[in-house]
Structure 1
Amino acid sequence: MKSTRTERLIRMASRFLVAPSRQISLTGLSEQFQVSKTVISDDVAIIDRSMREEGIGGICVERGRTGGAFLRPRLSREYRRSFLGSIAETLSQDNRILPGMLIHYSDILFNPGFAGPLGYALASDFADREPDVVMTSEVKGIPLAVFTAHALGIPMAVCRFRNRPSDGPAVAVHYPSGRGEVRTMFMGTRFLSAGKKVLIIDDFMRGGSTAAGMLLVAREFKADVVGTGVFIAASEPARKAVSEYSALLRLERGNDGVPMVKVQD
């Protein structure tokens, strides 16, 4: 039974939103909704325009006999600043400030209502680099990396600080921590391979030693790191163990010396 155009547009848009970055066959849509590919192409153009106006991305179309379309995450500047601004305001509350220039943010990352959009924001920053896998370290970086990987339509690999028998064979990499200690990361051999394009995601960066450790893991596997995304980067110390990274938020001292969170431009 053929559906009305309104019904068809809603159903098509929902598929793009549920599975961003995953190609949907235009031929398959044409057959399912019993309309021509020309009509489907017009529908896709309407959905693309609506999503761009909403500030959440756009529909990319690959032409050809087996061509398809997918939603590429891309937050508008206004949407991004509004959402991240509300997160920064929440994290700057007095009851979240901890000793040692730290803040409490775990509840944000373990809440899908926040972690989902944050992962989408990071995905929109790196979608053009077309990574093959998202890499993070346990534990707090996992929710953020999961939603980033979902928005990019790719798998996730987790660096662990101890190897479990259930993880299978793993490669161990030693790296210096910010306190001068030598720590060890383990990466299962089933999760990463040579030539893969890796996007590193970290929840919090102070000196950058954890992100630097993940860079060493990728190098050990002969994988290519295409970017490093961070939820919150501290302004102190100014010199990090990694030279290039992109942060959503920045933790710095206010004029009164009290830590505060700001949106990273």
Structure 2
Amino acid sequence: MKRSDRLVAMTTYLTEHPMELISLPFFSETYGAAKSSISEDLVIIDRMFQEDGIGYLSSISGASGGVKYIPKVSNENSEAFVGQLCTELADPNRILPGGYLYMSDVLGNPGTIRNIGRLFASHFSDLELDAIVTVATKGIPLAYAVASFLQIPVVIVRRDPKVTEGSTVSINYVSGSSRKIQTMVLSKRSLQADANVCIIDDFMKAGGTINGMKSLLNEFQANVRAIGVLAEAEDEEEERVVDNYTSLVQIKNVDDNKQEIEVTKGNYFE
């Protein structure tokens, strides 16, 4: 195999297996090249990953060592994408009755969802997470996008039990926006004790739903290492019940009368 062909094949394999330790003998046997040539190829790939701002290769020495592709989005790429997202969400045509914001098209765009997943995975890649946790339904595509870059499973919290989930644990929580008592459930088989998890959701106002998920995860002795939300909304009338979260965009004001939306970058860049 020519070096140019091998570089393409190795790059494809690495990007499709992020966070996975791959041995040099595997590449050597797969592509029929000496380990010295494979090492030189990996140096080239690592340089291009960093120049493109999409991550880097982490090398681990020793008999059980190898290389691992770590997704890391550069600040330049992150700011460009989130800036574009802010512009897209600031479209007045998104305003719904009651001051709500239409976001289903964003959550249904595979390219956008993949980029959001890459950003959160980049931010949380050092946390040694065991699972991504979200609540049905709109947070599911975001959770899978993040999990695909971290190579970890997705755990879905539901509003009501499903017979296919087996025995479940349920809790009641107070919704931050409506102040109503609601229920969420999680299968007992979903998580091992002491698992390190990251909560991902599409939207956060007061944070009642995320706080409910944290309480539910306490029943599993899980460690919530991070919280990521696509959009957070400012509301001076409601007290935020969640701290230590990461948001990509912040919706500061939705004026139904003036048909204006103010959207800024979230605390991801702080």
TM-score, normalization by structure 1? 0.94
Q: Quick check: 1:152 aligned with 2:150?
A: yes
Secondary structure of the 2:63 match is coil
Offset at 1:251? 0.5
Q: What CA distance in whole angstroms lies between the structure 2 residues aligned with 1:213 and 1:38?
A: 53
Offset at 1:174? 1.5
The range that moved more, 185-194 or 230-239, is: 230-239
CA contact (8 A) 2:139 2:200 kept: yes
CA contact (8 A) 1:27 1:66 kept: no
CA contact (8 A) 2:159 2:183 kept: yes
Name 1:235's counterpart in structure 2.
Answer: 234
The range that moved more, 235-244 or 82-91, is: 235-244
Q: Quick check: 1:117 aligned with 2:115?
A: yes
Offset at 1:253? 2.1
Secondary structure of the 1:217 match is helix
The range that moved more, 64-73 or 138-147, is: 64-73
Count of matched residue pairs = 263
Amino acid paired to 1:243: D
Identical aligned pairs, as a percentage? 36
Amino acid paired to 2:252: E
Secondary structure of the 1:128 match is coil
The range that moved more, 202-211 or 61-70, is: 61-70
Name 1:64's counterpart in structure 2.
Answer: 62
Q: What CA distance in whole angstroms lies between the structure 2 residues aligned with 1:82 and 1:216?
A: 36
Secondary structure of the 2:26 match is helix
Name 1:30's counterpart in structure 2.
Answer: 28
CA contact (8 A) 2:54 2:71 kept: yes
Q: Quick check: 1:7 aligned with 2:9?
A: no
CA contact (8 A) 1:101 1:259 kept: no
- Root mean square deviation of aligned Cα: 1.7
Name 1:220's counterpart in structure 2.
Answer: 219
CA contact (8 A) 2:233 2:251 kept: yes
TM-score, normalization by structure 2? 0.93
Offset at 1:24? 2.0
Q: What CA distance in whole angstroms lies between the structure 2 residues aligned with 1:102 and 1:168?
A: 36
Amino acid paired to 2:140: I
Amino acid paired to 2:211: A
**Distance change (3 Å), C-alpha of 1:58 and 1:101:** farther
Secondary structure of the 1:228 match is strand
Secondary structure of the 2:239 match is coil
Name 2:265's counterpart in structure 1.
Answer: 263
Name 2:247's counterpart in structure 1.
Answer: 247
**Distance change (3 Å), C-alpha of 1:254 and 1:159:** closer
Amino acid paired to 2:250: R
Q: Can you list the C-alpha shifts for 1:10-42, whole angstroms capped at 9, x where unaligned?
A: 100001112222222221111122222222122
Q: Can you list the C-alpha shifts for 1:49-93, whole angstroms capped at 9, x where unaligned?
A: 101110111111222113222211111111001111111111111
Q: What CA distance in whole angstroms lies between the structure 2 residues aligned with 1:104 and 1:68?
A: 45
